[in-house]
Structure 1
Amino acid sequence: MSLFSPKSELGVVFHIGSSSVGAGLVRLKRGEIPHVVFALREPLPYRDELDAQRFLADMVEAVKRTNLRLAKEGLAHLKFTEFGSLSVKRVFCAFASPWSVTQTKIATIEKKEGFVFTKEMAERVLREQEKIFEREMAEGSPGLANALDTIEERVVQIKLNGYEIAEPYGKRAEKAEISIFMSFVPKAVVEKVSEAAYMAYHPKSVQSFSLPLAAFSTVRSAFKGEKDFIFLDIGGELSEISVVKDGLMLETASFPFGRHFVVRKVSKALGASPEEAASLIRLAEENQATPDVLERLAPIMAEARKEWMDAFHYVLQGVSTRTSVPTKLFAVIYNDFVPFFMKALKDEKVAEFGVIDVPLSVTLLNHDKLKPVVAFGKHSDKDPFLALLSAFAGKLYSSE
């Protein structure tokens, strides 16, 4: 079949993060893994202090700059590939923390006399859970529910009589457990990002989803059989943890220690600019810094690494009060800070915090690990976040 058939389309996949906006031009075709033809990333301005309104404005400007660069660089690059005749038809927007809030709810239907489980039952539970969430939001923060947009509402697992059933509809049971994953993003954020996408590409559709759900789905596809794991997204301003048990994403939590936390520590201690601090950190982690710089940085980096690990384990300790913590961890990290955080995660002292009994088994998610579910063009930047998200976008596209 020709690459230029109607079943081959071009999409743009956005990663809306806490310190940058990434975007990829992705060839989509049913029956084939998505192919990232071109990828780029635009940083948000570094701020010593965060202000919500300015943070939103910075993100929207980064989206607009990304669109301009895709038009100038990406589409120009496309002309010299086998996908040169394609134009953008789909846009996918993935929101990471703090832009999105996610939660998993488990609803139970139980009747001693038994019942036939139907799709209508699952849909009714979905509607009920959304109303419960809106009521909880209204009680806790009046006005907040109306300010949020539900971008995801999915039944992610159904158990009948305690067993997960792939095709549950029409089956008889005494008890059904319906697990629902929901994601919420401020309406102002969704509207501004969608508006920028429609103005730039005039696509057939703009679909929004959360990074945790995309990561959960992609890890399950790329690593068959994995049902218990931690997913860790280390962003610029935040790190986010998602805990998966028995094939279900139980909960997601974030803490305000990301790449920028390390940069701020070094910048303040050395009296250097953020750009200089980031450069020194990279040189030190790659063992390319001078002995004098290494000596000055060593105690600062050690302190930053310990503070990050303390925050990481504080979150896991909270999880451990509700369920056992998986020992397998999949991490996605900005390329320039991989050594710093991998050293922290692989530290043998992880086992001494009392959260888990054995060291974490850490897998860094990158293009090589995700080859079964996503491909990259020879000259494309192999952005690990866009790899995860493009794989999920391909799954959404193929399911239509």
Structure 2
Amino acid sequence: MKPFFFQRSKVKGKLAVIFDIGSASVGAALVGFAPDTLPKIFYTTRREIPFLKKIEAERLTASMLKTLELVAHDIQKDGFSHARFTLFGSIKPALVSYFLASPWHVSQVRDIYRQEEESFRVDRDLVRELVSHEMDDFKKLHGGSGTVSFSERDGETKQDNLHEKHTIIEGDILDIKLNRYHVADPLGKTARELDMTLFVSSAPQTLIRSIGDVGDREFSGTESRLSSFTFSFFNTVRDIWHDKENFLLIDISGEVTDLSIIKEGRILETASFPVGRNTILRNLSSKHISFNEAESLLNLYYQNKIGTDEAAYIKSALQSAQDMWLQLFAKELQELASQILFPNDIFLVVDAPLDAWFKEVITSDKLYDLSTTGEPFDVILLDTKTLAPYCQSVRWVDKDPFLIVESLFLNKTLFVI
């Protein structure tokens, strides 16, 4: 008979590996999911993608895939031991889930509209036909073809990233209106007007296959899924702050800033511009200061452990970076919100140590003109403190906000709590 500390009750949960694939780093988490409880994170790891002074698509992709290999090996080598003496210690991962941030995917909100003189019946076949047609149009826009799973890798041909064929990874109906009224369950009802809002995202086929190859080497035979961080970010915020209907999502990664305007609880528009954390660190670096040294100096600057001259240099560089980011941010907002009132609530997720700095920038008086109230935006930073009540973790785990957001989103697809 086994000692009591090796005995386990019947496992009703699922173990999953989550990968967060960004433009500057790749993170991963080993997460346990069970009915009627919060997800529990047993292990996290994150590695920086080697810094490139000049962004080139092929080099960035190769560097990201190499970093993904290292992170996947970290999970396989060190991650599972952290769940060994828990209810999840005796089970294998049921799922490997990859979340793609910009620039690894493209997304768009598309409107589907049908009007007839006579009332027509809305059924599953009609909805499927309209959605399929819209997704075909989206695939044509990005040179895409049919959906390709991770297992369909035969006959792969190398293509230029700019002309790469895309595969749909998400096609989710955000809203349905019948005769201009929101309807939760339209099937079986009749109407003369049908209006659907569809969120679609896609990624290059060869990139999907390369990511799948990495996963297969470490987690052979495990089910794999792909999602965009944009959609998981939206879902998580909407579920936690369900009293908020109109807001802006800002995701600032290493090389890109992504924006999503939410109106009446639904994604209205998305946009992005190529400025992120690494852009600012490039401004800090110079002939005499490397990228890594600039990052170290920035950390020391926020800890007030830096000399007067160096502090003045960093302050000046940050002011220049602020002006550049604000100019592009304001431009995108004006284009996105040209026909609607701009929401005053902003949810922000960004890599440390620039998270607090970006929050200060967004609430600065330079953006008052864009606020509907003429006052500072109300910015909620999705850091570990804000997200802690919604996710469990073992004490020594590094609590990564991006991985927490993705864990909460994935929890919806496995168990409804």
What is the TM-score with the length of structure 2 in the denominator?
0.89
Of 124, 139, 160, which residue of structure 2 is paired with 1:119? 124
1:394 is aligned to 411
Q: Report if the CA contact (8 A) 1:94-1:389 is conserved.
A: yes
Is 1:324–2:329 an aligned residue pair? no
What's the CA shift for 1:38?
Answer: 0.9
Question: Which segment is superposed worse, 257-266 or 153-162?
Answer: 153-162
1:33 is aligned to 38
Is 1:10–2:15 an aligned residue pair? yes
2:311 is aligned to 294
Q: The residue matched to 1:257 in structure 2 has which SS? A: coil
Distance 1:385 1:17, change over 3 A: same
Question: Which segment is superposed worse, 365-374 or 381-390?
Answer: 365-374
Instruction: State the distance in 2 between where 1:146 and 1:280 align.
Output: 39
Instruction: State the distance in 2 between where 1:118 and 1:249 align.
Output: 24
Is 1:108–2:125 an aligned residue pair? no
2:47 is aligned to 42
Q: Report if the CA contact (8 A) 2:342-2:371 is conserved.
A: no
Instruction: State the distance in 1 between where 2:322 and 2:78 align.
Output: 37
1:88 is aligned to 93
1:366 is aligned to 383
Question: Which segment is superposed worse, 274-283 or 78-87?
Answer: 78-87
Instruction: State the distance in 2 between where 1:88 and 1:143 align.
Output: 32
What's the CA shift for 1:285?
Answer: 2.6
Residues 151-179 of structure 1 deviation map (CA, whole Å, 9 limit, x = unaligned): 01111211122222222212232222111
* Structure 1 segment 111-190 matched on structure 2, within 5 A: 111-138=116-143, 147-190=165-208
Q: The residue matched to 1:208 in structure 2 has which SS? A: strand
Question: Which segment is superposed worse, 363-372 or 96-105?
Answer: 363-372
What's the CA shift for 1:286?
Answer: 3.2
- What amino acid does structure 2 have at the position aligned with 1:155? I
Q: Report if the CA contact (8 A) 1:285-1:340 is conserved.
A: no
Is 1:222–2:222 an aligned residue pair? no
Residues 35-87 of structure 1 deviation map (CA, whole Å, 9 limit, x = unaligned): 11111111100010122111111111111100111122211222254532232
Of 228, 234, 238, which residue of structure 1 is paired with 2:256? 238
2:150 is aligned to none
Instruction: State the distance in 2 between where 1:160 and 1:321 align.
Output: 26
2:227 is aligned to 209
Distance 1:174 1:186, change over 3 A: same
What's the CA shift for 1:356?
Answer: 7.4
Structure 2: gaps (5+ residues): 1-6, 145-159
1:250 is aligned to 268
1:193 is aligned to 211
How many residues align? The count is: 395
Distance 1:263 1:146, change over 3 A: closer
Instruction: State the distance in 1 between where 2:289 and 2:209 align.
Output: 38
Instruction: State the distance in 2 between where 1:40 and 1:185 align.
Output: 24
Instruction: State the distance in 2 between where 1:109 and 1:7 align.
Output: 45
Question: Which segment is superposed worse, 58-67 or 77-86?
Answer: 77-86
Distance 1:183 1:121, change over 3 A: same
What's the CA shift for 1:16?
Answer: 0.7
Instruction: State the distance in 1 between where 2:34 and 2:376 align.
Output: 40
1:57 is aligned to 62
- What amino acid does structure 2 have at the position aligned with 1:244? I
Question: Which segment is superposed worse, 244-253 or 76-85?
Answer: 76-85
* Structure 1 segment 274-289 matched on structure 2, within 5 A: 274-289=291-306
Distance 1:54 1:27, change over 3 A: same
Q: Report if the CA contact (8 A) 2:11-2:87 is conserved.
A: no
Over the matched positions of the two proteins, sequence identity in percent amounts to 28
2:151 is aligned to none
Distance 1:361 1:29, change over 3 A: same
Residues 333-380 of structure 1 deviation map (CA, whole Å, 9 limit, x = unaligned): 112221221221121322046887432110001233234543222221
Residues 63-116 of structure 1 deviation map (CA, whole Å, 9 limit, x = unaligned): 110011112221122225453223222011110000000001111122233233
Distance 1:184 1:138, change over 3 A: closer
Question: Which segment is superposed worse, 89-98 or 164-173?
Answer: 164-173
What's the CA shift for 1:143?
Answer: 11
Instruction: State the distance in 2 between where 1:43 and 1:298 align.
Output: 25
Instruction: State the distance in 1 between where 2:36 and 2:85 align.
Output: 24
Question: Which segment is superposed worse, 79-88 or 203-212?
Answer: 79-88
- What amino acid does structure 1 have at the position aligned with 2:29? G
Give the aligned CA root-mean-square deviation in angstroms.
2.3
Instruction: State the distance in 2 between where 1:230 and 1:295 align.
Output: 33
Distance 1:144 1:163, change over 3 A: farther
Of 329, 351, 354, which residue of structure 2 is paired with 1:312? 329
